[in-house]
Structure 1
Amino acid sequence: MPDVTPPGVRLTAAAKVLHLLTEPPGSTTPPEPVEASAGAWAVPWSLAVLVLLLARRNRARRKAREAAPGRDAVQAAMG
């Protein structure tokens, strides 16, 4: 039974092709099955988007925190 766990980083696949036609006339052996496999890097897009959103939120909070002392001084001087 094949592994049904979704890939985290690496995705691999294998294929086997069997000939359904009978052997060619004059042949003494049936054609052999053809097998191939391939692999590729799988990008976990949902995780990448989550990390990007968290980084953006943290940067916005840091900018607001750095601007707070100046904003408070302006409000104190005006009020």
Structure 2
Amino acid sequence: DGIIITGDITGEEASVDDLIKLKDEIDKPILVGSGINKDNVNNYLKYCDGVIVGTSLKENNMTNNPVSKENVREFIKVVKNNF
């Protein structure tokens, strides 16, 4: 069991402040499930157990496009460089 937090609408970033409060209140894994990209992922990974990444890994950041190998490489590089 775990909890997924999201922004108010699809693709919107979750509140880091809400994430911090939630982490202090529960003893379950927490995933952030919307709005994650290479520019903000490390803000979240400090406080959660994982992230769900989708649109930011697609070509031109469009949901219906195929996954961009370059976007995936950049995302992984950012995460690896900060952990």
Q: TM-score range by the shorter chain?
A: under 0.3
Which structure has more RCO (C-alpha within 8 Å, separation ≥ 6)? 1
Greater strand proportion = 1
TM-score calculated relative to the size of structure 2: 0.19
